[in-house]
Amino acid sequence: MLVGEQDLAMTPVPDAGAVGWFAARQPGVVRFLEERLLVGDGDAFGVALETAWRICTAFELRQGVPPPRVARSLLERAETAVVREAGHPGAYADGFAARQPALCAWLAAVIDTPPVPLARSEKQAAGACLAAIVYALDELTTGRAVP
């Protein structure tokens, strides 16, 4: 199940209630982001939280139901895959960009020009976390194991 540009374009700007519901529905995702990004002023966490909500919403629009809860163990496997893939660009035929090309391009644009200024290290950390979330959701919705 590929998430397309149309799915991403249809995701509205979340309000506080939507983000609260997301935190209740995907507590593992929120904790994952907190542990990795809630440092300093918290801007990277804020950007990643909204983006994660949009990613989950796009998957929901594509399949017609909210994605299942993402387990911590799956996020950690996905994070390992992201790090491994980043170290060897293009080496994985079933990598992040091949699995979800539209989502990958959209995510790159969000991280390149976030709504608030982020340091390069914050962008990299947020991008890696969000890529791991995409990997995890891709596995849950398609059954394709994280490489």
82-122 pLDDT, tens digit per residue, is: 888 877 766 566 777 788 888 888 999 999 999 899 999 99
Question: In the structure encoding, which two tokens stand for residue 130, read together?
Answer: 């969000």
Confidence of residue 137 (pLDDT cuts 50, 70, 90): very high
Residue 147 lies in a domain: no
In contact, 140 and 68? CB cutoff 8 Å: yes
What pLDDT score was predicted for residue 96? 75
**Percent residues over pLDDT 70 in the chain:** 86
Domain annotation covers residue 43: yes
Task: Give the closest residue to 50 by CA, choosing from 85, 15, 82, 78.
Answer: 15
Domain of 99 in residue numbering reads as 5-142
Number of domains in the chain: 1
Residue 93 DSSP symbol: T
Q: Is residue 79 part of a domain?
A: yes
- Joined tokens for residue 53: 């909500």
Enter the pTM of the model.
Answer: 0.86
6: amino acid identity, one letter: Q
Q: Is residue 130 part of a domain?
A: yes
